[in-house]
Structure 1
């Protein structure tokens, strides 16, 4: 089985390297990642300038690896079109440095890269890990990522879907289990800090306030309780329930 590993944190990020080390033990792995940090790139692609591709060697990893000057979605597109010989069976994206839960999935380059694979009819999984004090978070997350993959891979391929997986930053023995659940609500209340540079120019810096997830049985809720969460995602944004109603409006 051939796996394509991508991310949005860049080729040198600890998350993708932990994932590669775990999966290349048993699978053929090709790594294609941005040359630098591209968090919150969403589903953007590069249209107006060439994409630079470099083959790189990552210490401790035997798999072929490439960095590109584009976005996470570009990584998938470039890999499938130019870098991988033969069929890619599954796209794995991550492990992201920080959770992708609730409305984060709309902005996440990690999730968008997985969805880009699915657009090409390739099943995909997006992995993200909470940032915290536990030093071995990403090694623990990579181990669980592979265990989950082993359990779901046959059904994943049959159904051609995207699974969004999030890991709490806890010691192995403190992880309570796995919960399949819906995504939570918007709990990051972003606002801008303004610096005025004269009369005609201002600089805006984004900040965020984190509010508690009030709804139970969501990804945020279960992660706070110490569970790994899995949410199946669907990128077709059509509201089918309203199709006929909107026709009537016209």
Structure 2
């Protein structure tokens, strides 16, 4: 299987190296990642300046690797448009340093790179591992990702597929199957404001405040030590409101 690996932590990040080493013996891989850390870029793409592409040699990984000056979504675009001629079976994005659960997926460059693959008709998996006291267990995330690829029959998938895989630092039980579940709610940031003394103020994130963990969500299962998997959709259409809005606009009914 031909696999394109991307991420948002950068070409030298240990997560993408770990994933590559777990895949390289059984699959043909190509690595395309930002030249520097580009976390929380969401689905930004580079429009107003050229994207610089550099071939990189990664220690212990005998596979073509490239750094680019763009965003995580750009990595997939560069791969599909230039470096692979679109000949890719699946895109894996990660392994991210930190979870991408709940509504954090909206800001995630890791998830957006996976979604970008679907715009090219290629199935994808975003892979993220919990950051815990300055450490990340990339090995667990890589093993779960490999298991997923082995179980999925990629050639039989006839619809766009984005899977969001998250693994906790300490697994509840390695033999327990992945919890397939919905995403949880938002995780709010703590902000601090400072005065610069010249009429300006600055605002910066200084921490995170967890909200209530909802039942049957990725955030709840991860807190209990389970790996989670969520199929994602990037169609933002609110189908529940479609008919109501149509009646208001097209039929001049009152919106209630």
Q: TM-score of the superposition, structure 2-length normalised? A: 0.91
Aligned pairs (5 A) from 1:88-127? 88-127=88-127
* Residue 11 in structure 1 maps to residue 11 in structure 2: yes
- Does structure 2 conserve the Cα–Cα contact (< 8 Å) formed by 1:44 and 1:73? yes
CA-to-partner distance for each residue in 1:140-178, whole Å, 9 max, x for gaps? 211121012111243773333100000011269667431
Tell me how far apart the structure 2 counterparts of residues 66 and 9 of structure 1 sit (CA, whole Å): 14
- Does structure 2 conserve the Cα–Cα contact (< 8 Å) formed by 1:213 and 1:221? no
Residue 212 of structure 1 and its aligned partner are, at CA, apart by 4.9
Tell me how far apart the structure 2 counterparts of residues 241 and 171 of structure 1 sit (CA, whole Å): 37
- Does structure 2 conserve the Cα–Cα contact (< 8 Å) formed by 1:134 and 1:169? no
Comparing 214-223 with 97-106, greater Cα deviation is found at 214-223
Comparing 199-208 with 239-248, greater Cα deviation is found at 199-208
- Count of matched residue positions in the alignment of Structure 1 and Structure 2: 249
- Does structure 1 conserve the Cα–Cα contact (< 8 Å) formed by 2:173 and 2:226? no
Corresponding residue for residue 243 of structure 1: 242
Q: What's the RMSD between the two structures over aligned residues?
A: 1.9
Tell me how far apart the structure 1 counterparts of residues 54 and 62 of structure 2 sit (CA, whole Å): 16
Q: 1:134–1:193: structure 2 CA closer, same or farther, 3 Å change rule?
A: closer
Tell me how far apart the structure 2 counterparts of residues 128 and 98 of structure 1 sit (CA, whole Å): 6
Return 5+ residue gaps in structure 2 as ranges: 250-256
Return 5+ residue gaps in structure 1 as ranges: none
Residue 207 of structure 1 and its aligned partner are, at CA, apart by 2.6
Q: 1:139–1:217: structure 2 CA closer, same or farther, 3 Å change rule?
A: same
Q: Considering only CA atoms, is the larger Rg found in Structure 1 or Structure 2? A: 2
Tell me how far apart the structure 2 counterparts of residues 62 and 222 of structure 1 sit (CA, whole Å): 36
Q: TM-score of the superposition, structure 1-length normalised? A: 0.93
Q: 1:153–1:168: structure 2 CA closer, same or farther, 3 Å change rule?
A: farther
SS at match of 2:132: coil
CA-to-partner distance for each residue in 1:111-146, whole Å, 9 max, x for gaps? 000000001111100000001259671122111210
Q: 1:31–1:177: structure 2 CA closer, same or farther, 3 Å change rule?
A: same
Comparing 202-211 with 112-121, greater Cα deviation is found at 202-211
